[in-house]
Amino acid sequence: MWPDRTINLALAIHGQVDPVTGVSQTMPQAPWTTPVEVKYLLEEKLGIRVMVDNDCVMLALAEKWQNNSQERDFCVINVDYGIGSSFVINEQIYRGSLYGSGQIGHTIVNPDGVVCDCGRYGCLETVASLSALKKQARVWLKSQPVSTQLDPEKLTTAQLIAAWQSGEPWITSWVDRSANAIGLSLYNFLNILNINQIWLYGRSCAFGENWLNTIIRQTGFNPVRPRRRTERESDANWLRAIKPRTTGAGNWLFGMLRRSYDRFDAR
């Protein structure tokens, strides 16, 4: 027989999540349109203690708990199938009044753009997420001769990234456009919050230095009041660093592990 022990489960999900009640309030890419009591349903089914939180909050908590540089303010952004973020301000997770902060993927970058899963038009996710890039690639591939194309119905993220790394012109402009859009949204966020340390997560980081540098250029672009840069300033003036993380899965696991033993109002 197994010895008696307490099992805690922490679940990271995207969208707007109440970490106290464990209710998924909104999840644009999910098939349901009303709040779902994820914590209650899992605890009833499994008979164990469950904590539910936003996936980007989990990453931010992991960064906070492993913060060797002692940063008091920083941001994590996950650019993958969707785009989300979380902010640590004065060493505390900033969740917002309704636990909905950090929805950078649903900031609007093109009001005349395509419809987003959230119902609005031209959200960042419709331009810069991997799902958006794959949709564009599928449409383009279907218009090409069969002998020269990947299977549009079976296109994977790995194939998309491989095509970009090999310099395929049909993907290069889309990736540049996505990086510009991310940088634009980030520029707006950073001018409001004045955070100067950013960690990028997600499979989009595989697009590499050019993708990253395009984002950095957008966050540092200020045509209105150019000024002379001092020796102690970076190209983006007050922005200290935007760096990719290659330990996304590990940090999610670490964040969930620590979260499962922490209070419901984890900060």
Residues 6 or more apart whose CB falls under 8 angstroms from that of 222 comprise 237
- Please indicate, yes or no, if residue 217 is contained in any of the structural domains: yes
Q: Where are the beta strands (DSSP E) in the chain?
A: 8-13, 16-18, 23-26, 36-37, 49-54, 74-79, 83-89, 92-94, 197-201, 241-244
What is the SS3 assignment for 221? coil
Q: Is the pLDDT of residue 234 over 50?
A: no
User: What is the predicted pLDDT for the residue at 253?
Assistant: 57
User: What is the predicted pLDDT for the residue at 254?
Assistant: 52
What does the alpha-carbon distance between residue 87 and residue 193 come to, in Å, rounded to a whole number? 9
Question: 177: pLDDT confidence band, cut at 50, 70 and 90?
Answer: very high
pLDDT tens, residue by residue, 65-103: 877 667 788 889 999 999 999 999 998 899 988 888 989
What does the alpha-carbon distance between residue 4 and residue 30 come to, in Å, rounded to a whole number? 36
Query: Looking at the 3D structure of the chain, how many domains does it have?
Result: 1
- Please indicate, yes or no, if residue 105 is contained in any of the structural domains: yes
User: What is the predicted pLDDT for the residue at 265?
Assistant: 44
DSSP assignments along 82-144, one per residue: SEEEEEEETTEEE--TTS-TT-GGGSBS-TTSPBPTTS-BSBTHHHHSHHHHHHHHHHHHHTS
- Please indicate, yes or no, if residue 43 is contained in any of the structural domains: no
Using alpha carbons, list the distances in angstroms from residue 177 to 169, 234, 236, 251.
13, 24, 20, 28
User: What is the predicted pLDDT for the residue at 245?
Assistant: 63
Structural domain boundaries, residue 95: 55-265
Question: 4: pLDDT confidence band, cut at 50, 70 and 90?
Answer: low
Q: Is the pLDDT of residue 196 over 50?
A: yes
- Please indicate, yes or no, if residue 101 is contained in any of the structural domains: yes
Q: Is the pLDDT of residue 223 over 60?
A: no
User: What is the predicted pLDDT for the residue at 252?
Assistant: 47
- Please indicate, yes or no, if residue 80 is contained in any of the structural domains: yes
What is the SS3 assignment for 19? coil
- Which domain CATH number covers 243? 3.30.420.40
The owner of tokens 């990271």 is 12
What does the alpha-carbon distance between residue 198 and residue 77 come to, in Å, rounded to a whole number? 7
What does the alpha-carbon distance between residue 218 and residue 214 come to, in Å, rounded to a whole number? 6
pLDDT tens, residue by residue, 95-142: 988 888 989 999 999 999 999 988 899 999 999 999 999 999 998 888
* Selection from 61, 21, 34, 75 nearest residue 240 by Cα: 75
Question: 262: pLDDT confidence band, cut at 50, 70 and 90?
Answer: low
- Please indicate, yes or no, if residue 115 is contained in any of the structural domains: yes
What is the SS3 assignment for 17? strand
- Please indicate, yes or no, if residue 2 is contained in any of the structural domains: no
Q: Return the H-helix or E-strand segment holding 262.
A: none
User: What tokens were used for 138?
Assistant: 């599928």
Residue 69: count other Cβ atoms within 10 Å of its Cβ.
Answer: 10
User: What is the predicted pLDDT for the residue at 11?
Assistant: 87
- Please indicate, yes or no, if residue 44 is contained in any of the structural domains: no
pLDDT tens, residue by residue, 11-53: 888 889 999 899 999 888 888 889 999 999 999 999 888 889 9
Q: Is the pLDDT of residue 248 over 90?
A: no
Mean pLDDT of 188-210: 86
